[in-house]
Each structure stands twice: as structure tokens, then as C-alpha cells.
Amino acid sequence: MSETEKPSKLDAPMRGALVGVIGSAVVLTIGSFALGGPRFGIGVAIGGALAPLNLWVFAQVGEAFLSRRGNTAPWAVIATLKLALLLGGVWLILRSGIASGLSLIVGYGALPIGITVGTLFGPKPPDDFADGDPKRRSFGDAPRKDVLKARPADEGDPSNEP
């Protein structure tokens, strides 16, 4: 990476989800043109274009809220605008008759499909606690002892004798 390039703020799993959404949108669009005709295919393409755009904006807003760097108020405005533009844009598309509601839904279906595919087959988040430091263990890594093989508390304990 050169000095002029900015590193991506999106982590590897989110980039994998975005690639999955874009890939599934392309597959759904090609299938729709082949099986449903040009008008249906255009609607699926529009819905498929809205899906990764919506996920990208959602990731940017979520990262801004979670990082808590600076003022998050502008991102709240952006999140509200995102919702208003998404709903308003879909309303305009349906009102104008460019695409049917079903074709938009099929195209927007790339969002859950792509997120699922990207999560299952994409890059995994880094394991921050793999260094073996016992102070940094998670709850599931707690040492376990076999309860069935443990000796009873009163057996061999001199304080329990009568």
C-alpha cells in the first residue's frame, strides 16, 4: 500500500460480506434476465445495487458509533437520511413503474444471501486472545476439571474427622 492510499475502515469479515452481497446480486440479476425478461432483470439489478450500498453505509455508520471517536451526531443524521433515501427511492421506483415490487425484493434479497455466504466462506475475524495469556482468557476457555473423578471433600481431610 502506498503512502497516499488510506487503509479501509472496514474489517475483513465486513469486506467479505460486501463481496458476497455484490456477487449474489450479480448472480440474481443474470438469472432474472435469463428467466424473467428484461423488465424483471432491471428491477432485480436495481434492488441488487441497493443492497451492497445499504450495507456499506450501515457499516460506516456502525463503525462510527462503535469507535466513539469525535462527534457521532453527524452519523446519526446520515443513518436517518439513509433510511429516508432508501424508502423514498423505492417508493419513487415503484410509483414510476420502472420496476415491480417483486423484482426489487428479489434483487434486495442479495443482502441476506450475500451476508450469509460472506460470513460462512469469507475471512474470519482475528483471534485477539490467541497469545496464551491466562489473564486474557474468554469464558469458554476456563480450565475444566472432571467432576466425576474428583475425590469427595470429606475423604482424607483431617478437619472433617470426628
- The domains of the chain are located at 12-156
Greatest mean pLDDT range, 36-45, 53-62, 66-75, 80-89: 36-45
What is the percentage of the chain residues whose pLDDT exceeds 90?
A: 44
Per the CB < 8 A criterion, the answer to whether 75 and 14 are in contact is no
In this predicted structure, the answer to whether residue 91 has a pLDDT above a threshold of 70 is yes
- 138-142 contacts, C-beta under 8 A, 24 or more apart: none
Q: What is the pLDDT of residue 50?
A: 94
Distances (CA, A) of 105 to 25, 28, 48, 112: 11, 11, 9, 11
Per-residue pLDDT tens over the stretch 3-17? 444 555 778 888 999
**Helices then strands, each counted (H, E), the chain:** 5, 0
Query: pLDDT (tens digit, 9 = 90+) per residue, 93-152?
Result: 999 999 999 999 999 999 999 999 998 988 887 765 555 555 555 555 555 555 556 555
pLDDT digits (tens, 9 = 90+) for 41-59: 999 999 999 999 999 988 8
DSSP summary character for residue 152: P
